Structure formats: structure tokens, C-alpha cells
Amino acid sequence: MRAFTYERPDNVAAAMQAAIQPGASFIAGGTNLLDLMKIDVEQPTHLVDISRLPLREVTETPDGGLRIGALVSNTDLAADQRVRQRYPVLAMALLNGASGQLRNQATTAGNLLQRTRCPYFYDVAMPCNKRQPGSGCSALTGFNRMHAILGASQACIAVHPSDMAVAMAALHAEIELQTPAGLSRKMPIAELHRLPGQNPERDTTLARGELITAVILPPPPAGRQTYRKVRDRASFAFALVSVAAIVDAGGGKIRDARLALGGVAHKPWVPKEAERELAGAPAEAGSYEAAARSALREAQTYTHNEFKVPLAERLLARTLGELATGG
């Protein structure tokens, strides 16, 4: 591990000031950053420990939503009765992530900002455009079973690993940010993560030094919610494909559907066309299957991940059917 300096401010203003210097990185739970530092993928010269900041509360918003502090642990968020009762898709996604020990340490903001688990990103002996821009993407011709089938580029086919982010995308959450200039701003979570394009080293749209202070959930949407995750083993494994779905149905019709897919792209993938097709469609198998095909229509596969397309289609269609019929 390379040498670095360290400080632990006790207020947001001091944290923002500390993060201005070159080479600075925020750290809270450290469940991802410390691992990357140990293998020389991340090389911060100054760590700003934000674990003392007053960002550990889940509070009600005036419109009936929730404001989740950036440092709320994954365990505490999943156990919050308001989340379990009003946003079950989020509770399920959290409980499907990592292990109990990691959830105890991992934070809400850190979960959103974790980096890909692509093995070539982690292997400093292999070319990786995300780790070393311009060096190439080893996954294109390597072992790419876990990799993207939507929104990828020739520069990178890595996927975003978060389960929580997929659920929050389906819930239309907002991110609350503090800028180095001392200003606050918000953005839809759909605008937080980037597709790789020609700059896969940039995971998010955050400006340098910006700090996530909270995630805002809007009032609970109508309908039933669920999170489904297909993985190689029952726990402590990243998604091959996952689905966060919220379906409002009745009278034999689908009134509204919100969808997000995980394990298939560089960010949580929201299939807008499929959502539009479902609105007003009959609550029957043909509608679910058509929407699933629409969601995967632009998929591009590689040598080892062709199976992800039928897997995602079947998972999405089955999930829609369960929710629309009260399963």
C-alpha cells in the first residue's frame, strides 16, 4: 500500500475543504476503497474520513417520502420499518447484497459509488481502460461471463455491482449533493452513473470534490414491489442479472410499471420503452414477454455472456407476472 495522509473532520464544511487538495478521496465504511488501495488500483494521497459527519439518520420528508443520510449503513436501512413497509424493493435489494458483516459497515453513499468488480479492473497486470485510460479492455476478448450486454462500448464492458442502486433507480430516487463551493444541489439517481463511452474511468457525473449527503426517496408508488436477483450462489455474490420492479395493476390491466435491471450495464439500466409498452397493457403473459423482449432488444453479447439475454427476459417476464397477478 502506498503512503497517504489522513484526517477526520467533524462537519461537512471541513470535509469539503479537506477534499479540495489534489489526490484526496472521501472514505466512510471503506469496504471497497481499502481493498482497491491494497492492490494498487486506487492511489489516493489523502484520505478524508467522513464517518463522524451527522449523516446517519433516516427522516420523513414533507411529501411523504424519506431522506436517507449518506452514512446510514446498509443494515440499518434494510431494517428500517418505514423502508420495509413502504419501499420493500429497496429492503430486498439491500438484503441481497454482500454479507451481513459488510452490510453493517457499508454506507448508503458508498454503496452507490462502489466500483466495478470486473476481474481485469482488479488485476493491475492486465490492460484496463477504467484503471488506466487508453490501455485497452481485456474483457472484450477475455472471460466476460459477468459483463455488460447493454450500454457498453469498445472501451469498456464492465457492469455496476450495486443491488441498492438498481432498486433506487426503480423508485426514482434523488441524490442530494454538497459542492466544494458550499452549495447544495440535487440530481435524479438516473443521472448519477455514466455509461462508459470513451471515458470508462469516470463512473459517475459527480464533479471533483462533490459529496453525497443524502438520498431522497419520493412518496411510495402505487402497486406491488419486488427485487429478484440471479447469481451463482445464494449469498455474497454479485448479480448475473437482477430486476427491481414496481407494478400497479387492476381490472385486468397494467396501470403503471417501473423497472430497472442490474448486472447488465455500466449503470442500473432503466428500460423506458418496456415501461411505456406496459402502461395500459393487458395483465397477461403476452404483455410481460413482449416488454421483456423490448427491454433486451438492444443487447450486445460477447463470447461468454450470451446466456444473459434469455435469462434477463425470463426473469423480467416472470417478475412482472407475479406482481401483476398478486404473487
More confident residue, 270 or 181: 270
3-state SS string for 171-229: CCCEEEEECCCCCEEEEEHHHCECCCCCCCCCCECCCCCCEEEEEEECCCCCCEEEEEE
Spatial strand order of the sheet with 211-217 comes to 58-60, 66-69, 211-217, 174-178, 184-188
Q: Specify the pLDDT at position 132.
A: 97
Domain boundaries, the chain: 5-48, 224-325
Over range 248-277, report the average pLDDT: 98
Q: Specify the pLDDT at position 275.
A: 98
Res. 235 pLDDT band, cuts 50 70 90 = confident
Over range 289-313, report the average pLDDT: 98
The answer to whether residue 327 scores a pLDDT higher than 90 is: no
C-alpha cell of 87? 419501499
Res. 131 pLDDT band, cuts 50 70 90 = very high
Residues 141-164: pLDDT tens digits?
Answer: 999 999 999 999 999 999 999 999
Over range 34-49, report the average pLDDT: 97
CB-CB contact of 150 with 265 (8 Å): yes
Quote the radius of gyration of the chain (alpha carbons, Å): 20
CB-CB contact of 177 with 206 (8 Å): yes
Q: What's this model's pTM, rounded to 2 decimal places?
A: 0.97
CB-CB contact of 160 with 169 (8 Å): no
Rounded Cα gap, residues 85 and 220, in angstroms: 10
The percent of residues above 70 in pLDDT, for the chain, comes to: 100
Domain 224-325 - what CATH class? alpha beta
Q: Which amino acid is at 168?
A: M
